[in-house]
Chain A
Amino acid sequence: DTGVSQNPRHKITKRGQNVTFRCDPISEHNRLYWYRQTLGQGPEFLTYFQNEAQLEKSRLLSDRFSAERPKGSFSTLEIQRTEQGDSAMYLCATSRTVGYTFGSGTRLTVV
């Protein structure tokens, strides 16, 4: 599969727990983005990596959120002490120049 892969597809967690999502980009894509999408809204930018460097973070990304891309390949997004408001679809997208390819997303439900 040469697309953008995200795992897990679904995650249900209790409030207060930590969760981690993974994104495997298309190889050769040096740019990687995380977006969050809630029902009835378009995706909202969270953070951006160029290779292993995290170059931009949205103010939506509170201190409970952290993202890494240690070797410039796969990326992880961790949410600590989850809250019900974190329930959303978390989308990863990668690109080389122009044009994004999105992964299928991880749907998080915090109960």
Chain B
Amino acid sequence: RKEVEQDPGPFNVPEGATVAFNCTYSNSASQSFFWYRQDCRKEPKLLMSVYSSGNEDGRFTAQLNRASQYISLLIRDSKLSDSATYLCVVPNTGTASKLTFGTGTRLQVTL
């Protein structure tokens, strides 16, 4: 099993739609998780942190299911500006605090 696995997409949705991405991880000892957003040819930027069962920030909701080792990201009322690649990220449990990234899920929001 890959350390972090995501559906690469692309997900093509109309403006206003609700879309959800899932991510599975292999290290059951992982305690915290992140979703990063990456625009084309730009660096990744932190979107949300998930430390317990979930986190909500406006139109974005991240949920964590430790038993099944998956994390989800829900985007409600999609905007054109949400078009990007969404990276699921799991920190290493060692001392280096390095991050393991999924391959990313590409979202394209259309009119």
Please list the residues of chain A having a beta carbon within 8 angstroms of any beta carbon in chain B.
31, 33, 40-45, 48, 55-56, 91, 95, 98-100, 102-105, 107
Contacts and interface: CB of A to CB of B under 8 A. Distances in A.
A45 B99 contact: yes
B86 to A, nearest CB: 10
Given A95-B97, A98-B32, A100-B99, 17 more contacts: A33-B98, A33-B99, A40-B8, A41-B104, A42-B4, A42-B87, A43-B101, A48-B96, A48-B97, A48-B98, A56-B98, A91-B43, A98-B97, A99-B49, A103-B43, A104-B42, A107-B41
Given A42-B87, A48-B96, A55-B96, A104 B43 contact: yes
A21 to B, nearest CB: 14
Interface of B: 4, 8, 32, 41-46, 49, 87, 89, 95-104
Contact of A40 (B42, B43, B103): B103
A55 to B, nearest CB: 6
A31 B96 CA distance: 9
Interface of B is mostly: loop
A44 B101 contact: yes
Contacts of A40: 8, 103
17 contacts: A40-B103, A42-B89, A43-B44, A43-B99, A44-B101, A45-B98, A48-B98, A55-B95, A55-B96, A91-B43, A91-B44, A98-B97, A99-B46, A100-B46, A100-B99, A102-B44, A107-B41
